[in-house]
Amino acid sequence: MRRYGEAIASDSPRVRSDRATLQRLLPYLWQYKWRVVAAMAFMVGAKLANVGVPLLLKRLVDAMTLPAGSTTALLVVPVGLLLAYGALRLANSVFNELRELVFAKATHGAARAIALKTFEHLHALSLRFHLERQTGGMTRDIERGVRGIESLVSFALFNLAATLVEVLLVLFILARQFDVWFAVITLTALVLYVAFTVGVTQWRIQFRRQANQFDSAAHSKAIDSLLNYETVKYFNNEQFEARRYDESLEQLRQAQLKSRSTLGLLNSGQQLIIAVGLVAMLWRATEGVAAGRMTLGDLVMVNAFMIQIYIPLNFLGVIYREIRQNLTDLDKMFTLMDREQEVADAPCAQPLTDLHTPTVRFEDVHFAYDPARPVLQGVSFTIPAGKTVAVVGPSGAGKSTLSRLLYRFYDLQGGRITIAEQDIRTVTQDSLRRAIGIVPQDTVLFNDTVAYNIAYGRTGASQAEVEQAARAAHIHAFIAAQPKGYDTMVGERGLKLSGGEKQRVAIARTLLKNPPILIFDEATSALDSANERAIQAELASAAQNKTTLVIAHRLSTVVDAHEILVMEAGRIVERGTHAQLLAHGGHYARMWALQKNDGQNGL
């Protein structure tokens, strides 16, 4: 079986470009377009205030060079400039905070919308996808993708774009107020800085990708091991699981060390370019002051501009790396969203109707999970409305596959399945599954209360209806005896309950749903004889006037079925009532005799 990452890689080999990822994100943000526009306006206002600080600082320094005896000017001019200087600093902070406040709803709203759409799409994917995926790795990708949306917007819009706006303003002021060489030196240093940063960061990003892969692998192993806690204990494999987890952690550590060691090279190169640029600018400004072309305030202004530009650029490597990584994380989530539905509603699908007479027909059904290994080969049978048909046979005969196909978890390779004369491929999956209730062989419960798990059969059911279903499933007395009653937590996958208790909760859940079509897939396999007989009577009562498919291993549970089908190797080899099949003396009769001789009759 393929691992989750391998399944995605093989089914989605195309790598989406960063531009395409951004284009995919923009519609979610543009739903809050007035907030986007307002945030951009506040960002520009903050940068104008920030650029105004060095200009005011120049005037403040120049104002301090006064003729002798100018006491009034000394008292008035610097005080006014100082107040203006403080106001600009305050305006910068206020605009930045307003920008964050206005745009927060857009970023969080976009993240919520994308996360919800991904969640809904995952539920819409086929059972095949969910059998192949690794939960830990997939949830990690979704978590990083959602977090990446907020980081991407913050870094790209409020760091990179804001720095670009400030650089353009400074270049314009330097070129206009002094000579063009100030702008040329600044621009050259910036181009070299950006080129070096992007080049080295592009090389370094491979280590971040490796670290993320190893992080997902470690997370998947940890989640898988903890979910299978009992199996680990059964086989004394705690140290084996710890070694597997440690191998992934060691790979993660190595990738992180490579990333950290190359960061030193990036930082050193950046500081060298910044230092050369600053020296060149200050040398030219100092020369201008000495020659009388510039004032001392001009020198201070140039130095302040350089500091304001280069401080944000110090983080350019981090910003660029984070933007690229956020785009990668977001692309992984979009890849999940783009995963094609193997089983999808037809364009003109209509809700399933005529459910008062839901006759079910399998007509020459062919199916295989893997083309090399057919599971069902020309299976045909009918479950008349209000009747019960049972399917028996050895393990691997294809019995449980019938229920999966009836639920349309997979599409057929041949033949068709109809309900009330409607091909299930032509009706909506939602209406199809609302019409069917199942008690599965392997019952998995939510880590919530008993009441929640029973009410899951029909959300919104009253407490009285929940208790009525529990009584019908013979589990009310057990629940009432618990200290918290129906508020008793069942634990992860229902592990706090015994197999029989879990199965009775599943029966109660299906009885509460009360659909016109029922499937009992080894519904009483985890029950003792006394409870099985009691619940068998309840199931028979629940199946009255309902179209029912019973999949069973113990033949004693299906003796009253209107028809019994015996399957072997994906084919129906015998069919008839219990009495007819015994009289025939074939496969069914041998199975009956074997179970009776082994003392399993009635278990």
Choose from 352-366, 489-503, 525-539 the range with maximum mean pLDDT.
352-366
| DSSP-based three-state secondary structure for 447 | coil
Query: Measured between alpha carbons, how far is 511 from 457 in angstroms, rounded to an integer?
Result: 8
Selected from 3.40.190.10, 3.40.50.300, 3.30.300.30, 3.40.50.720, the CATH number assigned to the domain covering 344-435+515-603 reads: 3.40.50.300
Residue 4 above 70 pLDDT? Answer: no
**Residues for the chain: how many in total?**
603
CATH 3.40.50.300 fits 445-514, yes or no: yes
Question: 239-272: per-residue pLDDT in tens?
Answer: 888 888 888 888 888 888 887 777 777 878 888 8
Q: Please give the full DSSP string across 219-284, using - where no structure is assigned.
A: HHHHHHHHHTHHHHHHTT-HHHHHHHHHHHHHHHHHHHHHHHHHHHHHHHHHHHHHHHHHHHHHHH
The 8-class DSSP code of residue 552 comes to: -
The encoded tokens of residue 190 equal: 């910036």
Higher pLDDT, 384 or 492: 384
Query: Measured between alpha carbons, how far is 516 from 391 in angstroms, rounded to an integer?
Result: 19
Question: 52-86: per-residue pLDDT in tens?
Answer: 888 877 787 777 665 555 555 445 556 667 777 78
pLDDT number for residue 6: 37
Higher pLDDT, 581 or 306: 581
Q: Are 166 and 43 in contact (CB under 8 A)?
A: no
Where do the CATH 3.40.50.300 domains begin and end in the chain?
344-435+515-603, 445-514
Query: Measured between alpha carbons, how far is 331 from 133 in angstroms, rounded to an integer?
Result: 18
278 burial level (CB within 10 Å; 0-12, 13-18, 19+): middle
Question: 502-544: per-residue pLDDT in tens?
Answer: 888 888 888 888 889 988 887 766 566 666 676 677 677 777 7
Helix (H) or strand (E) holding 399: helix 399-406
Query: Measured between alpha carbons, how far is 16 from 328 in angstroms, rounded to an integer?
Result: 9
Domain boundaries 4-338, corresponding CATH code: 1.20.1560.10
Would you give the distance in Å from CA 242 to the centre of its chain? 26
Would you give the distance in Å from CA 460 to the centre of its chain? 27
Segment among 55-64, 130-139, 409-418, 535-544 with least mean pLDDT? 130-139
**pTM, whole model, 2 decimals?**
0.62
Residue 49 above 70 pLDDT? Answer: yes
pLDDT number for residue 3: 37
What is the rounded radius of gyration, in angstroms, for the C-alpha atoms of the chain?
36
Choose from 52-61, 90-99, 111-120, 122-131 the range with maximum mean pLDDT.
90-99
Residue 436 above 80 pLDDT? Answer: yes
The encoded tokens of residue 455 equal: 């009410």
Question: 192-216: per-residue pLDDT in tens?
Answer: 888 888 888 778 777 777 777 788 7
Of 422, 426, 398, 399, the residue nearest 411 (C-alpha): 426
Query: Cα torsion for 215, 216, 222, 226, to the nearest 10°?
Result: 150
Tell me the CA distances in angstroms from 306 to 187, 271, 326, 367, one per residue in order. 11, 13, 29, 71
First-residue to last-residue Cα distance in the chain: 35
Where do the CATH 1.20.1560.10 domains begin and end in the chain?
4-338
Which backbone phi and psi does 389 adopt, to 5 degrees?
-120, 130
Helix (H) or strand (E) holding 158: none
Choose from 31-45, 234-248, 474-488 the range with maximum mean pLDDT.
474-488
Residue 591 above 60 pLDDT? Answer: yes
